[in-house]
Structure 1
Amino acid sequence: MPINIPKHLPARERLEKENIFLMEDDRASTQDIRPLNILILNLMPEKKKTERQLLRLLSNSPLQVNVDFIHTETYQSKNISESHLNEFYKTFTDIKHHHYDGMIITGAPVERLRFEDVDYWEELQTIMQWTKEHVTSVLHICWGAQAALYGHYGIDKYELPDKLSGVYGHRLHVPTTKLVRGLDDEFLAPHSRYTGVSATSILEHEQLTLLASSEEAGALLVMSKDEKHVMITGHIEYEATTLAEEYERDQAKGLPVQLPENYFPKDDPSIPPLNRWRSQAYLLFSNWLNYYVYQETPYHWD
């Protein structure tokens, strides 16, 4: 089934070339089915890339999905045009009286700051509290996952000695959980971050379940026991070249970054990297949409 997105969204052309099933509003409105309404709070600086990455994964489902994007009101992104935000994005004020079947809160390049020092932290806390009554299930990615673990469960992040960047093997701990149904017992996922969260603190928390982790990268998949929140500390939505682009960007800035681990073939940056996590990413998003959004959301919100 298709994903319904605005006709002129820049991601459309690239996704259509990949044979992603897309639909426009006029066709979607004639279908006598209940689509899922998904809200995406996009905190990433390169918003167009993140839009494309997330829409690609949301598309691989038998469910029709409508998507709304929102951006922060208390912080203005410097890497996207105001015209793009005005055309394709709303704010929390615009949507706070609505209900959504699912929501995604992305990562953000603010992880070395204390949560309280982030410009939009109070706004994000307000949104996270709002989701308790207005959203069926929330998927949190990278810094968004750390923010959820801190804001909802009191688990703080800690700074790593060096940036964690690369593709790492992970092992499932609770393979019977619906979210990971069909995933391999061991699978790959990319990480790109300066901070981590304690797997021990997650395991000891009575409201959380650690679903998958890595010896090198730590916790990856965490779910609340009420199944309301899914936290992914890595970037399974990344495209094959995303880590390479980040590596080149950091090098250009003169930052002391290491070559992403287990990423470039033969550790040679001149050889194009392969996407070795795509199938797991598609399956994880499909499971989330099906089991925790579609199967749980009310047909009619009060």
Structure 2
Amino acid sequence: MPIKIPKQLPAFTVLRDENIFVMDIERSLTQDIRPLKIAILNLMPIKIQAENQLLRYLSNTPLQVEITLLKTKSHNSKNTPIEHLEKFYQFFDDIKKEKFDGLVITGAPVEHLEFEDVDYWDELKEIMNWSSENVFSTLHICWASQAALYHHYKVPKHSLDKKLFGVYEHCVNYPNSDLMKGLDDTFFAPHSRHTTVFKEDIEKVSDLKILSESDDAGVFIVSNNNGRQIFVSGHLEYDRDTLQKEYLRDLNNGLEIDIPQNYYPKNDTTKEPVVRWRGSANVIFSNWLNYCVYQNTPYDICAICKDMD
């Protein structure tokens, strides 16, 4: 698909080398179509890695997709070059008068904090409130899914006894739902988190539905009834080596960390990890773009707020 990103963005070369159709802004202007406008609020510390991962899956559609990268004003990233942030990212204030077909809010390594203690919590609340009226469908990933469930529906998060870390099997509860179409009855997805939400808390909210869950990893994918808020507790976007990098990082920092479950062949850390989630990731991201966004968002993007009821 023609994903529309600046040619200078590192993801442009990465995706092009993977034979993914990327389109620079100049070429996109020659096509007489309205692209889907997708914003990504990137809360991950290593932002370039997160860009590459997400753009890979957002490219899985025949439609033209225009990407806007967002950063928080109330928190300064220390793990991404300032030159990169200044060149490719915007603040929320720069775009808050615009309408977007879709928004992705990434995870963030702040699980040890109460939501209210996160330095950009007030800004994130403003963005989540704005998304309810100015974005057709919002996809929240990992910590962001817990933050949004807490903010919109008062669903609390709970600390785990130890880190949920590895690749886990999940079941599909609603195979005919838009987001689950085309998935096998069971599928795999990576998780890397210290907190969780409880099934019984979500079931108390009539506007929420648990689309997928796991015996080992708990609640995985939740949607509100109209599909305009999606909450994913894991990391379908992860690369083959992402969990390995996290594992080695924690080991090098002297932290207590188990080998990622169901990740290395026979738990042998000298062997290359096995990818078992790429197919399901493609299906879910493609379904979100197609059914939750494209099939329902108005052609006149300014009419989004009128269709939110």
Q: Does the CA-based 8 Å contact 2:101-2:135 persist in structure 1? A: yes
Q: Deviations over 1:95-153 (max 9, x none)?
A: 00100000000000001110000000000000000011110000000001001110111
User: Amino acid of the residue matched to residue 231 of structure 1?
Assistant: F
SS at match of 1:107: coil
Q: Deviations over 1:128-184 (max 9, x none)?
A: 000111100000000010011101110010000000100000001111101110011
Match of 1:258 in 2: 258
User: Amino acid of the residue matched to residue 128 of structure 1?
Assistant: M
The correspondence of residues 182-261 of structure 1 with structure 2, limited to 5 A, is 182-261=182-261
Distance (Å, rounded) in 2 between the aligned partners of 1:301 and 1:22:
23
Match of 2:171 in 1: 171
Match of 2:55 in 1: 55
Query: Under a length normalisation based on structure 1, what TM-score does the superposition of the two structures give?
Result: 0.99
Shift of 1:202: 1.3
Match of 1:14 in 2: 14
Q: Does the CA-based 8 Å contact 2:142-2:233 persist in structure 1? A: yes
User: Amino acid of the residue matched to residue 271 of structure 1?
Assistant: K
User: Amino acid of the residue matched to residue 247 of structure 2?
Assistant: Y
Distance (Å, rounded) in 2 between the aligned partners of 1:204 and 1:96:
32
Distance (Å, rounded) in 2 between the aligned partners of 1:52 and 1:258:
27
SS at match of 2:179: helix
Task: Verify: 1:113 aligned to 2:99, yes or no.
Answer: no
User: Amino acid of the residue matched to residue 118 of structure 1?
Assistant: V
Deviates more, 1:229-238 or 1:198-207: 198-207
SS at match of 1:87: helix
SS at match of 1:205: coil
Match of 2:80 in 1: 80
Shift of 1:301: 2.8
Unaligned runs of 5+ in 1: none
Task: Verify: 1:38 aligned to 2:38, yes or no.
Answer: yes
Match of 1:149 in 2: 149
Match of 2:94 in 1: 94
User: Amino acid of the residue matched to residue 195 of structure 2?
Assistant: T
Shift of 1:13: 1.7
User: Amino acid of the residue matched to residue 70 of structure 2?
Assistant: I
Percent of residue pairs bearing the same amino acid type: 52
Match of 2:67 in 1: 67
SS at match of 1:211: strand
Match of 2:140 in 1: 140
Q: Does the CA-based 8 Å contact 2:101-2:301 persist in structure 1? A: no
**Aligned structure 1 segments of 4 or more residues deviating by more than 4 angstroms:** none
Q: Deviations over 1:207-256 (max 9, x none)?
A: 10000000100000000112210000000000111000000001111111
Shift of 1:27: 1.1
Distance (Å, rounded) in 1 between the aligned partners of 2:141 and 2:110:
13
Query: Under a length normalisation based on structure 2, what TM-score does the superposition of the two structures give?
Result: 0.97
Shift of 1:17: 1.3
- Give the CA RMSD over aligned residues: 0.7
Shift of 1:298: 1.4
Distance (Å, rounded) in 1 between the aligned partners of 2:188 and 2:245:
19
SS at match of 1:108: coil
Q: Does the CA-based 8 Å contact 2:172-2:212 persist in structure 1? A: yes
User: Amino acid of the residue matched to residue 96 of structure 1?
Assistant: K
Unaligned runs of 5+ in 2: 303-309
User: Amino acid of the residue matched to residue 232 of structure 1?
Assistant: V
Shift of 1:71: 0.5
Distance (Å, rounded) in 2 between the aligned partners of 1:292 and 1:138:
9
SS at match of 1:179: coil
Match of 1:276 in 2: 276
What count of residue pairs does the alignment treat as equivalent? 302
Distance (Å, rounded) in 2 between the aligned partners of 1:195 and 1:113:
11
Distance (Å, rounded) in 1 between the aligned partners of 2:174 and 2:203:
12
User: Amino acid of the residue matched to residue 281 of structure 2?
Assistant: A
Shift of 1:22: 0.3
Distance (Å, rounded) in 1 between the aligned partners of 2:264 and 2:274:
8
Shift of 1:296: 1.4
Distance (Å, rounded) in 1 between the aligned partners of 2:41 and 2:301:
21
User: Amino acid of the residue matched to residue 201 of structure 1?
Assistant: D
